[in-house]
Chain A
Amino acid sequence: MTNVTMTVNGQKVSGSVEGRTLLVQFLRDTLGLTGTHVGCDTSQCGACTIHLDGKSVKACSLLAVQAEGAEITTIEGLAEGDVLHPVQAAFKEHHGLQCGFCTPGMIMAATDMIRRHPEGLDEGTVREELEGNICRCTGYHNIVKAIMAASEAVKTGSTKAA
Chain B
Amino acid sequence: MYDVNYHRAGSLEEALKLFKAAEDGKFIAGGQTLIPAMKTRLAAPSDLVDLRHIADLKAISVSGKTVTIGAGVTHAEVAASADIAAACPALCHLAGLIGDPQVRHMGTIGGSLANNDPAADYPAAMLALAATIITSTREIAAEDFFTGLFETALEEDEIITAVRFDAPEKAGYAKFPNPASRYAMAGVFVAVDGGAVRVAVTGAGDDGVFRSAELEAALAAEFSASALEAVAVPADDLMTDIHASAEYRAGLVVAMAKRAVAMATS
* Chain A residues at the B interface, C-beta cutoff of 8 Å: 2, 18-20, 22, 41-43, 46, 49, 52, 55-58, 61-63, 65-66, 68, 109, 112-113, 116, 129, 131-133
- CB of B178, distance to nearest CB on chain A (Å): 12
Closest A residue to B4 by beta carbon equals A19
Q: Which residues in B have their C-beta under 8 angstroms from that of A49?
A: 102
Task: Give A116 to B79 CA distance when docked, in angstroms.
Answer: 12
Complex Cα gap A125–B212 (Å): 33
Please list 14 pairs of residues, one from A and one from B, whose beta carbons are closer than 8 Å in the complex, sorted by A's number. A18-B3, A20-B4, A41-B39, A55-B76, A56-B105, A58-B102, A61-B103, A63-B35, A63-B48, A65-B6, A112-B101, A116-B101, A129-B101, A132-B99
A103 CA to B48 CA in the complex, in Å?
33
Give the CA-CA distance A113 to B5 in the complex, in Å: 34
Report the minimum CB–CB distance from B115 to chain A (whole Å).
14
- 9 pairs of A and B residues whose beta carbons are closest in the complex: A132-B100, A131-B100, A65-B6, A55-B105, A19-B4, A20-B1, A19-B6, A132-B102, A20-B3
Which residues on B sit within 8 Å (CB–CB) of A116?
A: 101
CB nearest to B74 among chain A residues: A55
Asked if B234 CB lies within 8 Å of chain A CBs, one says: no
Interface SS of chain B: mixed
Interface assignment of B106: CB less than 8 Å from any CB of chain A: yes
Q: Are A19 and B5 in contact (CB-based, < 8 A)?
A: yes
CA A65 to CA B50, docked complex, whole Å: 10
Interface centre among A2, A63, A133 (most CB of B within 10 A): A63
The smallest beta-carbon distance between B23 and chain A, in angstroms, is 14
Instruction: Across the interface, name the chain A residue whose C-beta is closest to B181.
Output: A44
Nearest chain-B residue to A43 (Cβ)?
Answer: B36
A131–B4 touching, CB < 8 Å: no
Complex alpha-carbon distance, A129 and B97, angstroms: 11
Contact B3 A46, beta carbon cutoff 8 Å: no
Q: Is B147 an interface residue (CB 8 A)?
A: no
Query: Is the beta-carbon distance between B103 and A132 smaller than 8 angstroms?
Result: yes
In the complex, are the beta carbons of B1 and A62 less than 8 A apart? no
Q: Are A58 and B101 in contact (CB under 8 A)?
A: no
**Shortest Cβ distance from B3 into A: residue:** A20
- B95-125 interface with A by 8 A CB criterion: 99-103, 105-106
